[in-house]
Each structure stands twice: as C-alpha cells, then as structure tokens.
Structure 1
Amino acid sequence: MSNSKKDFTLIKLGNKFNFFQELDIYKFYNELSKSCNGNENNNFCNTVSFSVVDDPVVITLLKKLFRNLNYLLKYQDFFVDKITKAEEKHCIHLKYWLYDQIVINNFDEFEINIIFDFLEKHIHNGMLDKSSKTPCNFHRLNVGDIDDIKNMYSYSELFYETETKNYEKILNDYKYLNYFKNGFDLYRKSKIKCSTKENSGYCEEFKEYKNIYEKYGKQSTFLPCQEWLLSALYNKDETLSTKPSQKGLKSIVTLDPDLQKLLERDKPVEQKNLQNFYKLLTGNYEKYTTNSCDSLNEYDVKEKSIVCNLLGFVQKSLEIWRDTYENYDQSSSNKPCDYFNYWLYDKLRHIDATPCDIELLYQLWYKSAIQKTIEKKKTCYNKEYNGFSKEELGNKKRIFEFLEYYNVIRDKLNEVEHKEKNEYCKYVMSIFELYKKMEQNNISNSYREELNLFRHKFFGNELHFLEEKCSDMCLSFVFNEKLKTLCPFKEKNPTELEKKNLKQCENFESRNATGHIGGNDKYDYNFSNLPTYSVYNELNSNITPDTYYSICSKLIPHNENHCGIYNLCNKVVRNLTKLSVMKNHERFDRCAYITHWIYDEITKIPNIISMNIYEKIALREFFNVVYEILRKVGIFDCFLNAFNINFEEQKEKKYLHDYFNNFNSFTCNISSNNNECEKYCEYISFINNLYGKYINRSCYCFKSDGCKDIYPYYFKCDDNYNPYKLFEKLKCNQIEKFSKGLEKVIKPHFVDAHVIWLTEKYGKKAEKPLLKLEKIESSSTPENVCNKITCDPFYIGAIGGFGLMGLFLIFFIFYKFTPLGSYFDNKDARNIKIHSQKGEEEFLENYLEFNRTNMKNRRLRLAYHQA
C-alpha cells in the first residue's frame, strides 16, 4: 500500500484541518483507538483467546475491534457526553476506524483476509454479548475496496458535518482537494455500479452506507446546495462563490455578445421581444430592489443583502405580472416567464453568492408563486436550480437565445446575396460546438432542458437546411455520439508557416507536366444537362474561404510541387462528412461518385503520376489522410483502393459509371438539334467500346436467372442498358456519320450453359422409355426397363464413390471409438509410460532429499487433506 494513503488518515486530516477535530467522527474515533490496557473492559481484552492468529499486530487490532463492538452494544454507558449524533452512524464510524487502522498498519491482502476470516467465524460465536444482536455487518473487502470506501466516508463526513465556508480551506491544498473530489466521484460511480443486483462485498457495504447518506439528506433542506458546491469543485468550474461580494448587483443583462453584434449590424425588425424584455426587467430591477426582508430572518443566510435584493425584485415582479409582463408584446403565455428566468440566470452570473443562498431564493420564489396560484392570479414559476456554476448559467442562456432568434438567422441565411452570410454561419457553428460541449458535460443533467429544446429544433430537415447553407462547418456531426467535438478535423489553427505555404498555384506552369492525365483527353465528355454533372459539380465546389482542416496539414509541404493536393484533401473532408449522414441507396450512390471523383481529380494534380506511383510520397500521404478521415467520421462501407492503381482504367470505370447513371436522361431531336444528337451518338459509340471491354469481367450470367452485377458501382449488366438500345432510341443511324450503325455487344456466355446442355442431352434419352412405357407389356420384368440411375454412367460412378467413402468412414469409427484402435496405439505408449513414471519417482526422491537440508531455523509447513 502506498505511503501517500497514510496522508489521509483521520488523524492526519485533523492535523491538517482544525475543523475536522470538531466532527463527531473524530471524537468517536479517538474513543475507539484507546489501548486495551485501560481499566474499562480490560477483562475482555485479556481473556479473549486469539490462538488461531499468529500475528501480534493483527491480534491487537482484533482485540480492539471486538471491544469496540461491545461498546456499540451499550454505547450509552461508554460514550456519554462524547458522542451526540444519531446511533445509525456509529457503525459507519466503527468501520471507518477499522479501515483507517488497516491503512496505518500497512496490512496486505493476506492480513486483511485473516481479519475478515476471524470476523466471519467468531462474530456470531460467543465473542459478543449474547443478549444483544450484532451491531454491524462486515463485508469482505480487498485493499482497493477499503481505500475507496474510506475515501467516500471522508467525503460524506466533510459534506454533512462541516459548513461550506470550510471548503475554501480545502481549496488551498490541491492534494486534499483532489482526495475529497475523488470521494465524491466514487460515490457517483458506485451508485451506478451497485444499482444492479450485484452482491459483491463492496456493493453490500456501499448500499448500507448509501441508505444512511440519503436518510440524512432528506432531513435537511439545504444539504443539496453543499453537494452542488463539491460538484463544482470536482468539475473545476467557476462556481458561485462562498465569499461575500456585491459585485454585479447593478449589471445590465444583455443578449449573447456574438448574437447582439449580428443583430445590431443588420437591425432586423421582427423578433425583438427578448431583447426588449431584458431592457424592461433591467429598468424595473432598479425600482423594486429592497434591503428589508423579514422573511429571511428565520433562515441561516450568508449573504442576506444580495438575496434580499433579488427576492424583493422577484416578489414585486410576481405582483405586477399580469399587468406588466404576461402579454408583453403579444408573446405566448409561457414566453415572458422563460425570458424572466433566463434574465435572472444572467444576473446570478454576476453576483457572488453561495449555492445555499441561491437555493433559498428559489425556494421562496416557488412559495410566492404557489400563493399566487391559490389566489387564482397569473404568475411565473421558477425553473429548476441545481447549483449551476457561472459557466453553466451562461451556456444555458446562450443556447436559449440562439433558439429564440433562430428564425431571424434562418432568414438571413436564405438571402443568397447577403454579404455577412459567412458571419452568421460562424455564429451557428459556435452554438453547435457549444451544444457538443454541453452534451459532454451534462453528467448531472444541468443542461437537460436546453439540450432537449435544441434536439427538438434540429432533428430532421432543419439540420439539412443548415448543412446546405453553411457547408464546411461539420454541422452534420452535431448529433454524432461517437465524436466528442463538433468537427474532428479542426483541432488546431494553421501556423504562420502553413499559411505562407498555402499560396495559390497561379504561376505554376506544370499543369500539363509528365504524369498528368486527362488534361486534353478528347473523351472527356461533359454534358451539363445530365445528372452526373451536377453531382460532380457539387463535389468539386470551392471550399469556404479561411476553412482549415488540420487533418490535411500533412499535405501542405507537398502543395508546392503538387499544386492542388491540399485543396483536394479539404474537399474530400467536406464530401465524406456529408456522406457520413447519408443512408441506404443514397449513401451507396454517393460513395460511388466520390470514389470516381477522387481518382479523376488526382490525375489533374501536376507531377503526381509516374511510372511507379509508390515513388510518390505525396500520393501515399494523401491516401493515408483519406483513410484517417473515413475512420474519424465512422464510414466503414466506402473505401478507395490505394494499391496497384491503374488510373487509365479508373477513368474508364468512371465513364461507364456516368453512362449508366445518365442513361435515362439522354434525349434529343435530330430534326431540331442535330449537333447535340451527334455529340450524344459519338459518346454512345465511345461507351460501346468500353461496354464490350468490361462486360465479360463485370457480369455473371445464368440462362435461368439472368445476369448478376459483380461491380455494381460502375457496371450494370441489365441488357436494357446496352448502348445499342440507346443508339437506336436516339436514331443515331439517321446521322450520316453513324449511318453504318453500331455493332451490338452481346451478353457473356452463360456460366451454366454446359450443365444445361448435359441435362438436356441426357434428360431426353432418359425420357424416351418413360414415354413408351405404355407399350411395354405387363409381363416385362424390372431388369428390362432402363432408368436414369442404372443407365447413366455418371450416377453409377457416383454411387460407387460414395460407397467407398462409406467403407473408409466405418473403418475410421472402429479405429477411433472401439478397443481395436486402442490396442494398436497402447503397445508403445505403455513402454513410454513405465519409463516416464520411473523418471518422475527418481526426480521426486532427489527433490525431497535436497529440500530436507537447512530446515533447523524454518517453520515446518504441512500439507493436508480433510478426511
């Protein structure tokens, strides 16, 4: 056990923090630690036999433990005027003392097991007063369990037995702060771990402790506020302080500064309700605050003046609610009350008060609202207050205001020519990032209401609208539970050196350098009126200015010699991000488009293709980044081949893919638009050659069941897509250039053709005697009738083969599962076994002879078996 654990024994805690010496457990602990040499109950310590235990330190501890257990049975006689708290906690204190002694004595697992073995055997067997029941239940724990349980006990005693002002003293020592925070964390985790039917010693101990913990919690109105403060310490949040201060009493509540800046610049006429309501409340706050609050006299309030001012304003607001606030600016009935609550959230952010004082404010607010309801008057109820930190209060208000003004933001995003559209998108992204952060930190459900409002707003089509208007912002990941941040690709901002290297490739003159494919390819047909054009145009659209994906930064050093590779990576991030939220058929189709688009765009990067593509470090790095992107966005059904890439072949596959996706969109009228029809027909003629080249490798055809697509992402085997049929549909033979027609590509040979031929051939021969069966005389014997089995040599050979296999199987069974096989195997094995046994006997004799030496000073250990 680590020596650092001894720093947290109760005596050490008492020496470090004086207020611990005033705790009930500390006084109880000192009584339990008294030596057995005292006059009180000395006979018990001296007469009890511990002969089964040979460790004197363990014996001393056990004597004290059983003496203390007897104390608890008659605690009125031993603890008069020393212990004042409830009897239910005495057992917790006793076990805390026991665990503390185990830590102090540095006991290991062996010694701990001795203690629990002794307890299990003797606690119900005469060691205690038989007239009384056992005061405590002891559960078997290991070293780690004891450390954790003891840590929780220390936390609970701090929580229940000391005032919040003492928390400030703990804050000054990081080591002890972490210790109590860990106790709080252990309590929360143990509630989850032991909520099932698990009956381990740890969980049994925890459940008994938890019952007492919750019982005491119900007896005090203000205990939750202490736990909130500890929770804030645990989360390292800036919380409402325990120190008195008047800071912020006259602060002016406004909208979120980022939102305020956008609204002031564009000055929208509509949706000013919230902003004006805040101004109204701020003005009335100056009128209705008071320093006289008799209702607080019966409560222990640390910052009475602060609470008094706020309570006075709240109570006055409820009195004038119907006339002043209820129908403010024709708002819905609930809106003004929501505005009032979030205005107060912001006020609390600027007022340093204890969580217990704020809890009192909310309780008195609730009582006032209840009274108004009884009087059948309109009123406003407070929202739940769970000891929110300043950061939590600000986050809740910010999300609410965004949702309240979302329609204004939406209208601005719809203005295509709006100059500040990008500023609105940045604001939306910041709110989505805040949502992800709140979702990750919502352990105590502090943000439950705001998160539900946000989900209700953006689940569905509204999120798709924002993705379209604010591309490259990773907004689609907002509900992805696997990602802890909104955009996993924007982990850092670009360095100054990276910014310098991200220069445009305006003067780069190697666009047609060696290795560039397709720059002047005459087969790069580009029909802007066909479906594939719009998809590729979307995939290749420019990235939003100033967008920086840190995951692509590895390609910046290669951008100078391979101009465009970094920009392509950014586009891949955006396109795969959109793919990650697509489903079913849409997802499959878009994956095929992205795959062909990436290979095609690579060929346009200068100096990227060489005779050996593996020599290009930039290309290898690019594919590594692509696979990292796929992993981060959780795409496992769309991959690119990064090995043995034939870019010419990939380009041909793209042509075929595009042809099949455009097939139903080819229409033209020769009489009115002969040029367009000629281009189409030329394209069909080109595709027909590729179709004939790939059909045999891409289709698996059966005579009985049609053709199956082997590579559906670029080739369709359905004969309806045959270029010849499209050639005829467009009447290309009426154009002089194609008057000779087009050679039709036929389907591949059926893979089951030979089987069908054999079946038809032998089937007809077998059917003939059956058809003439009626002509055979009734006196004919069965031997004279030729049937399919006896006349077909294939079946005769098959029967013979299966018969031979059956014989082998029978011999194998006899060999493996009858004494016959064992007899042949055991002859040699018996000789080996005899030799092995002799070797073992000789080894044991030598071992025993060796270990009999030097035993004079060692304890004799005997191994035995019970009869």
Structure 2
Amino acid sequence: MSINNKNFILIKLAEKLKFFQGLDLYKSYEVLNKSLADLNNTNFCVNISFSELDDPDVISLQKKLLRNLGILQKPEEFFVGDITKSKDKLCVYLKYWLYEQLIVNDFSNFEINLLFDFLEKHKNGCMKDKSLEKTCNFYKLSLKDIHEIKNLYDYIEFLNNKDIKIYDEISKDHEWVSYFKKGLDLYKISKIRCSSDKHNNYCYEFNEFEKIYKEKSPYFSCKEKLLTLLHNKETTLTGHSPQDNAHEGTLDPVLYNLLKKNNLLNEVKLHSFYELIKSHSKTSTSSSCVSINEYPIKEEATICNLFEHVKNILEKWDEYYAKYQDLNPNKYCEYLNYWLYGKLININVTPCDMEIFYFLWHKYVMDKEKLINKCNNEKSYGFSKEELINKKKLFDFLEYFKVIKEKLSDVKNENTNEYCKYIKDVFELYKYMVQKKILQSYNEEIRLFQNVFSDNNVLHLLDEKCPNMCLGLVFNEKYKTLCKFEEKSLTEQEKEKLNLCKNPEGAKTGGHDDGNHGKIFNVTNFPTYNVYKELNADLTGQNYYAICSKLILYDEKHCGIFNLCNKLVRNLIKYSKMKNKERTESCSYITHWLYDQIGKIQNINSNNLYNTVAFSELFKVRNDILHQLDTFDCLYNTPNINLKEKKEQKYLHDYFKNHSEMKCEDASSGNKCENYCNYITFISKIYANYIDECCHCFESGYCREICPYFFMCDDNYNPHTLFEKLECNKFEEFRETIKKVDRHVPEDLFVKWIADISIKSPHLLNWDNKKSSITYEEADNKITWDPFYIFALVSFGCLGAFLIFFIFYKFTPLGSYFNNRDSGKKKSYFENFEQQYLEDNVELSHGNRNNQRMRLAYHQA
C-alpha cells in the first residue's frame, strides 16, 4: 500500500484546534466511524456479495460504507442536535469520512479504483430499490484528488469559525499554517479550473461541495488575508510586517523630515488637517462597542477606542471639516481616510478587526441622518499593515509633489539629491504596487499616481533633475522594477579581484598597437573630443551595473573590461532615450568609442576579438542591453572584428565630424594650423585606403556611400582639398607630403550589372572566344542559348498559357464546373463541422463511465 501523510486527520485537527470537536462534521464522523459490531442494524443492502473484490481491506471498508448509507436514511435515529437539520451536508460528512479512511488505511490507487468500481456496478442493484428522495454522488477520484478535497473541507471549516483567536493557536506552528494556506490555494485554483473544465470527476466533486458551502461566514475575505499573512515567516501574529513605526497620524516619516528641513510642511493643507484631527481626539469610556457574537473581532478595546475618536470627528464634520480652509469636502474625507491608515499602522489589530472598524464607521454615517456631508470609506479590503504603509506613503508624496517639483526647479536648492532619492524610492513603490494590482489593494493609489505623472513633461523634468535614476521608465510595462539595469555595491571579494589588474605584474602584455597609437594631435577644440570625453567619463560612486557582474572574472587578465562594460551600459541607456538624428549620431560615436577602448585593454587578439572569451561575453552583454531596452537600430553583428581596421574607421569618422572646425583665419593661429596640417596628412593615407571600397560613383556624378557610419564621398571632404584650403604648403615640413586621391573612374551601371552577372552566373553569358571559326550549327546554338531569347521565349509562353486558360474559363462550361465544385467544398466543410460538433456532444453524453457520477439513494424516514 502507498504511504500517505496522515498528520492532518480529523482527530489531530480536533486536538490542535478544540473548536473542531464542536463541529457537526466531527460529531457525525464519530458516529460514522463506529465499528460494524457496535452499529450494524440498518439492513441496507445486506444481501450483496463482496467476493469479486478479493481484498479484505476493501471489503471491510465497503461494508462500513454501505452501513453508513443506511444510517443516512434515518439520521434522527443515529444523530443528535442540529446534525439532523443539516440534510444538505450529510453526504459531505459521509464522503469526508470515506476519504479520511482511504488516507488513514493507506489505500493505493488500485484499491481505491476497486471500491469505486464496485459502487458503480451495484448502484442499479439494491441501492436503486431505495427511495430517491436524497442521493449521494460518489465520483471516482485519484489518491491525489482525495488528499486535496479533504484539505479543502478542513480549510472551509477552519475559516467558517467566527473566533479570530484560533489563528493564534496555529500561528506558532508553520506546518499547520501551511496546511490551511494550501487549502486556500487549492480553493482559488479549483475555482478557476472548474469554471471552465467542468467535465472531470474532481470538478464534479468540487462544484457540488462549493454549492453546499456557498453561504460563507461573514468577513471570509479578511480571514483569507490573515491566513496568507500568517504564512509569511516575516509576519507577526496580527498580520503586521515588522517595520519601523511611522509618525502616528501624520505624514510619511521620510517625507516629513525632508519638508520640515525646508519649511514646506504647511505649503499643503494635508499636514494642518492632521493637526486639527489630533485636537479632537477622544478616548472611549467603554471597552465594548460591538457584539462579540456578531463580529469576529479580536482587539475589541483598541478598535472601540479608535471608533470613538472617529465618531467625535464625524460629529463635528459639518461644523469644522467640511468647510475647512475652503477645500472640497470630498478632499478632506480622503484626508481622513489616509489619516486613519496612519493610525491603523500603529495599533495591534488584525485585517478582520480593520474590516469591522470600517463597517462600524459606514453604519454610523448611514444611520446619522443629520449629517449633511457624509464621509465614509466603502473600499476596505481588510488591508494588511504593509499595504497601509505603502498606500499612505504614496498618497502623502502625491499631495506634496507639486511643492517638491518647484523645489527641484530651484537652482539654489541644496537638497536635490535627497529629494531625488526619495522620489526614486516612491517610484519603485509604485512599480511594486502595479505588480500586486491583482489583489486590488492599491487600485486607488495607482490611479492617483497615473493622473499626476501622465504628462511626459513632468517625467522629462525628473530625468533632467535626477539623472541615471530611470524615473522616465516608470510606466514601462516590460520592466517589473524601475531600473532594468540595477546598480549594486561591490563586495569586498569583488573589490579584491578588480584590484588585481592594477598590479604591474599583470600589465606586461599591453593592448593593441597599430603603429599610430602613440600619435598625438592637439584636437581638444574638436566636437568629437567632448563627445568621447563624456562617453568615457568614470561612473560616479562605488556602484556598478549588475548585468556586468560576469565580467569581473575576466578583469584580472583583461584589465579594465569590467569598468568598460559599466560605461557601456550607462551610455546605451542614455542613447535609448534619444531620437532622430541625435540618436543615429550617438550610435556611431558609441560604436567607435567602444572599439577604441577595447584596443587599450590587455591580452587581446587584435585580428579577431570573438576568439577572446572575455570580449565575446562583453558583446553578449551589449546585445542583451539593447534587447532589454527594446532598441535594435544600433545592434551590429560584426564577425571577425579587426581592431586595426576599427581604429582607422574611427579616425575617418572623427575627421569628417571635425572637418568644418579646421580653419586658419588669422596669423595667431599658426601653431594650430600646423597641427591641423599634420592631422590632415595622417588622415589622407587612411582616406586613400578606403575611398574605392566605400564609394561607388557613376557617370551622373552621384556616389553611393557604402560606409555611411565613417566615410563621406563628397569631394569637398577630400583631405587634399582641405590641405590646400588651409595653405599647408606654406609649412616647409608639409610641402609635397600629400597627393590628391581622386575617386575612382565613374561606373556605367549596365556594364557593372553585366560584370556582376559574369562573376555570379557565368553560364548566362556563355560567349566562347577560343575558336577562331564557328560553324552555322554552332552559331545557331549560340543564338538559341542567348539570355535574351530564353527570357522572351519563357515570357511569351506563359502569356499564351494564361490566355488559353482564361478563354476556357470564361466561355465554356469548365468555369461553371469549378465554381460549383468550390461551393460544394464549402458546404461540405460546414456540414463536416456541424457533424463533428454533434459527435462531440454524443461523446460527452456517452463518455467514459469513470467520468460519470454514481447516485446512491437513501431514504430519510
């Protein structure tokens, strides 16, 4: 027999939770579990044969089950009290007893099938002779299904109990909390599963059980929430997460301190309203304000004290609050709600206590007919302490955001960093709330937040004042967190690994050197200089991007690769926010900067970077970043990267960007001009190597640029043209050092096309010049295989075939035949579809007998 977990049988449940002993379920179980010798006078199906079962354990349980079916015929003879009135639940109690017996006696799936098959076989025998006034439906379940259904029964009985103190009894035992929490999960999953997939035995059983237990106890939802909170190991008995106490009934503590430092507390009426409420505080003189039998309240004195305070406020609502400082009464009602969140955070109550408090508040307002401006909250879902803290923090921030925004715009503000950190914290809280949206706890705060920040101009301002904090990505639904590339602090172990590359012993093998690496041109006034300076700037602080972590391993051998990765992430994030021409230019700068920096790293293969594992990882990181940023217009797959070529391409790219800045307008610029001439001389040699490769020019004068990211074919950019414009020949050292490199001979497009064909498809131009004499047969053969004649023959042949087919289709019965055949196919398709639909219905009604319910009748006398 199979081994099952028997830690949660009814006897142990009753030992752990005493209230189970008073349940009808427990009392009926005691009767149904009596031995055959003690209770065997029902005369139900006594003549039935059990020989076919051939298993003593199954036979014994089957006899007991039939005896118990007889008991259910006359419940008043065997049960006492209210059990006889629970006629709808009698079958549930019987099946609960059966399922527990299967678990306790370690029945296997094979033995369980024997029992259910026996019931199925004999349901039309002696069982059918009994009255059909009441039936019990037994469904053939697996052992796994039986465990889950029993777990569901226990869960519902547990939550239907009114006494909230029972949660204290199980809270210290994680195993019991987990058992009932599993029942909650099973209930939710089964509700979803069995609303669509109804045609299986588990769902037959669940839906029948759900129908019987449809009437749940009051405050069922808050009990479910309390059970969920108990399951969280970081939660206390009352369902509260252990956090620092907030300022009771005032603003969020962090925001309060920021505003107080800058004397901004009274810029919004929220704070003064909280202070007014404090002045109307009143302590309850009674320890009871509700009937303990009517509501499942735990901390009655605490709730009554708070309710007395709110009643005192509501009594003065029309006089003091509704017209306070000419603000809309609905706004002050909203303020009161969030003030209460602050109070509830700091008192020791359960979610059910909170829900009862809101019920009492609502009832009081509705009963108070003299109130003109009614204020109450009908949107309470039994919030947890964590939810209350989050809701109040976001609301307080939104109320003061206008003041915060003005403070950020103030150039004299010295606390910008503190405000930015706080804003980022709140934005991250919003992202968390969105992830929890299914719980509905944060719906109102999410709506308020979206109303405030729906204007892109506000987000752009925050991005400007609080850079590198990803605030502009707050509404990006692809990211579960605010910053896709989270920053982390380096651990001591990581710092040690990174420090190894600073050891001179590890720097014996330098980076790539193309022979011009040491050539220095004083070009600090060029536009490219400032761009590269910004791209290569060090990251502020000690943080790094988590996505680069894998490169720490390679930093000792390839010193600087980890730091380069972090700079790359920062630059690509900034690039992803650019648009149009600025975005295109930024991509080319980042690409050339990246290869230039790679060239300075140690121990690399300059001929093929992909052969170096570390750089292969770096390019993977780059691609991952671009994909996660949903940016694909700067994603290049460049195999066999040669650093010498990339270096030359950067030189050319920068030359074209700097071209317009090289001017010699006065005598004082002599040294500068000499430096320009030196620079142009250097560039002209590289220019000559690429002009033929990157420019395809035609007789019309138009040139197609093959390398737009680093080469321009316009002759005005020719280094020789600029060399003459700057009069570099006046410097003796540059005379006759540069020759003009002209663009190659213009191409004839037709000739180029024929040339391409001769290379790619030489058989199409099969002109043989080897023979000096050609016979008539050979000449005829040449004409036959001429590409023009082949093309003409095929084209006219196709046109002729289409014409003939059109004539037959239009003017002969052939067209009608095809039309009728098509409609016949359509009709056949729909007929087949309808037939299949009918067959499916037949299959459902005549399916596997294992999926049918068994109705065993018993008579209630």
Structure 2 distance, partners of 1:466, 1:747, is 56
Query: Cα offset for 1:155?
Result: 0.8
| Structural mapping, 1:32-43, within 5 Å | 32-43=32-43
| Structural mapping, 1:798-817, within 5 Å | none
Q: Does 1:228 align with 2:222?
A: no
Alpha-carbon distance change, 378 to 94 in structure 1, aligned in 2, over 3 angstroms: same
The 8 Å contact of residues 238 and 389 in structure 1, kept in 2 or not, is answered as no
The 8 Å contact of residues 656 and 690 in structure 1, kept in 2 or not, is answered as yes
TM-superposition CA deviations, 1:515-553 (whole Å, max 9, x none): 365764457966655xx6676555444433243445545
1:359 alignment counterpart:
355
The 8 Å contact of residues 413 and 421 in structure 1, kept in 2 or not, is answered as yes
Query: Cα offset for 1:736?
Result: 3.2
Structure 2 counterpart of 1:343, one-letter code: W
Report the more deviating stretch, 466-475 or 633-642.
Answer: 633-642
Match of 1:318 among 290, 314, 325: 314
Query: Cα offset for 1:427?
Result: 1.8
Structure 2 counterpart of 1:545, one-letter code: G
1:845 alignment counterpart:
none
Q: Does 1:191 align with 2:191?
A: yes
Q: Does 1:457 align with 2:418?
A: no
TM-score (norm 1): 0.73
Alpha-carbon distance change, 633 to 242 in structure 1, aligned in 2, over 3 angstroms: closer
The 8 Å contact of residues 703 and 753 in structure 1, kept in 2 or not, is answered as no
The 8 Å contact of residues 497 and 552 in structure 2, kept in 1 or not, is answered as yes
The 8 Å contact of residues 502 and 556 in structure 1, kept in 2 or not, is answered as yes
Structure 2 counterpart of 1:111, one-letter code: E
Query: Cα offset for 1:397?
Result: 0.9
Q: Secondary structure at the match of 1:136?
A: strand
Q: Secondary structure at the match of 2:449?
A: helix
Q: Secondary structure at the match of 2:280?
A: helix
Query: Cα offset for 1:344?
Result: 0.6
TM-superposition CA deviations, 1:697-728 (whole Å, max 9, x none): 66899999x9988777x368xxxx52315569
Match of 1:389 among 360, 367, 384: 384
Query: Cα offset for 1:160?
Result: 0.8
Match of 2:420 among 414, 419, 425: 425
Alpha-carbon distance change, 447 to 123 in structure 1, aligned in 2, over 3 angstroms: farther
Structure 1 distance, partners of 2:193, 2:577, is 34
The 8 Å contact of residues 697 and 744 in structure 2, kept in 1 or not, is answered as no
Match of 2:644 among 628, 644, 648: 648
Q: Secondary structure at the match of 1:7?
A: coil
Report the more deviating stretch, 547-556 or 45-54.
Answer: 547-556
1:157 alignment counterpart:
157
2:249 alignment counterpart:
253
Structure 2 distance, partners of 1:332, 1:683, is 71
TM-superposition CA deviations, 1:580-629 (whole Å, max 9, x none): 67789987765554333322233345777878968978656655665665
| Structural mapping, 1:769-808, within 5 Å | 793-794=786-787
The 8 Å contact of residues 174 and 231 in structure 2, kept in 1 or not, is answered as no
TM-superposition CA deviations, 1:338-372 (whole Å, max 9, x none): 22111111111111234333222211211333356
The 8 Å contact of residues 701 and 750 in structure 1, kept in 2 or not, is answered as no
TM-superposition CA deviations, 1:38-77 (whole Å, max 9, x none): 4544533532223442222223323333443444455445
Report the more deviating stretch, 223-232 or 291-300.
Answer: 291-300
Structure 1 distance, partners of 2:584, 2:621, is 22
Query: Cα offset for 1:431?
Result: 2.1
Q: Percent identity?
A: 45
Report the more deviating stretch, 193-202 or 54-63.
Answer: 193-202
Query: Cα offset for 1:176?
Result: 1.4
The 8 Å contact of residues 329 and 373 in structure 2, kept in 1 or not, is answered as no
The 8 Å contact of residues 239 and 385 in structure 2, kept in 1 or not, is answered as no
Greater relative contact order (Cα < 8 A, sep 6+):
2
TM-superposition CA deviations, 1:260-279 (whole Å, max 9, x none): 22222222376342222222
2:211 alignment counterpart:
211
Structure 2 distance, partners of 1:429, 1:624, is 29
Structure 2 counterpart of 1:403, one-letter code: L
Structure 1 distance, partners of 2:10, 2:367, is 48
Structure 1 distance, partners of 2:690, 2:358, is 75
| Structural mapping, 1:562-641, within 5 Å | 564-578=560-574, 591-605=587-601, 622=618, 626=622, 639=635
Q: Does 1:280 align with 2:276?
A: yes
Structure 2 counterpart of 1:233, one-letter code: L
Structure 1 counterpart of 2:465, one-letter code: K
Structure 1: where are the runs of 5+ without partners? 760-785, 803-867
1:26 alignment counterpart:
26
Query: Cα offset for 1:165?
Result: 0.9
Alpha-carbon distance change, 628 to 171 in structure 1, aligned in 2, over 3 angstroms: same
Structure 1 distance, partners of 2:431, 2:538, is 27
Structure 2 distance, partners of 1:644, 1:44, is 87
TM-superposition CA deviations, 1:149-183 (whole Å, max 9, x none): 22122111111136221111111222111111111
Structure 2 counterpart of 1:216, one-letter code: E
Q: Secondary structure at the match of 2:44?
A: helix
Structure 1 distance, partners of 2:688, 2:194, is 68
Structure 2 distance, partners of 1:417, 1:709, is 50
Structure 1 distance, partners of 2:16, 2:666, is 98
Match of 2:238 among 241, 247, 251: 241
Structure 1 counterpart of 2:225, one-letter code: W
Query: Cα offset for 1:80?
Result: 3.9
Alpha-carbon distance change, 133 to 629 in structure 1, aligned in 2, over 3 angstroms: farther
Q: Does 1:290 align with 2:281?
A: no
Query: Cα offset for 1:184?
Result: 1.1
Alpha-carbon distance change, 251 to 12 in structure 1, aligned in 2, over 3 angstroms: same
Structure 2 distance, partners of 1:135, 1:383, is 43
Structure 2: where are the runs of 5+ without partners? 731-737, 758-778, 796-861
TM-superposition CA deviations, 1:759-805 (whole Å, max 9, x none): 9xxxxxxxxxxxxxxxxxxxxxxxxxx99998555578899999xxx
Structure 2 distance, partners of 1:480, 1:107, is 53
TM-superposition CA deviations, 1:624-659 (whole Å, max 9, x none): 665665677677776576974322222333455567
Q: Secondary structure at the match of 2:36?
A: coil
The 8 Å contact of residues 677 and 730 in structure 1, kept in 2 or not, is answered as no
TM-superposition CA deviations, 1:3-28 (whole Å, max 9, x none): 46211122232233332222221112
Q: Secondary structure at the match of 1:216?
A: coil
1:777 alignment counterpart:
none
1:825 alignment counterpart:
none
Alpha-carbon distance change, 428 to 175 in structure 1, aligned in 2, over 3 angstroms: same
2:813 alignment counterpart:
none
Structure 2 counterpart of 1:32, one-letter code: L
Query: Cα offset for 1:732?
Result: 7.7
The 8 Å contact of residues 36 and 64 in structure 2, kept in 1 or not, is answered as yes
The 8 Å contact of residues 471 and 544 in structure 1, kept in 2 or not, is answered as no
Alpha-carbon distance change, 613 to 360 in structure 1, aligned in 2, over 3 angstroms: closer
Alpha-carbon distance change, 667 to 172 in structure 1, aligned in 2, over 3 angstroms: closer
The 8 Å contact of residues 112 and 142 in structure 1, kept in 2 or not, is answered as yes
Query: Cα offset for 1:225?
Result: 3.1
2:87 alignment counterpart:
87
Match of 1:736 among 727, 732, 735: 727
1:179 alignment counterpart:
179
Structure 2 distance, partners of 1:188, 1:4, is 24
Alpha-carbon distance change, 496 to 75 in structure 1, aligned in 2, over 3 angstroms: same
Q: Does 1:342 align with 2:338?
A: yes
The 8 Å contact of residues 32 and 97 in structure 1, kept in 2 or not, is answered as yes
Query: Cα offset for 1:669?
Result: 8.6
TM-superposition CA deviations, 1:797-827 (whole Å, max 9, x none): 899999xxxxxxxxxxxxxxxxxxxxxxxxx
| Structural mapping, 1:833-852, within 5 Å | none
Structure 2 distance, partners of 1:208, 1:730, is 91
TM-score (norm 2): 0.74
Report the more deviating stretch, 263-272 or 618-627.
Answer: 618-627
| Structural mapping, 1:95-106, within 5 Å | 95-106=95-106
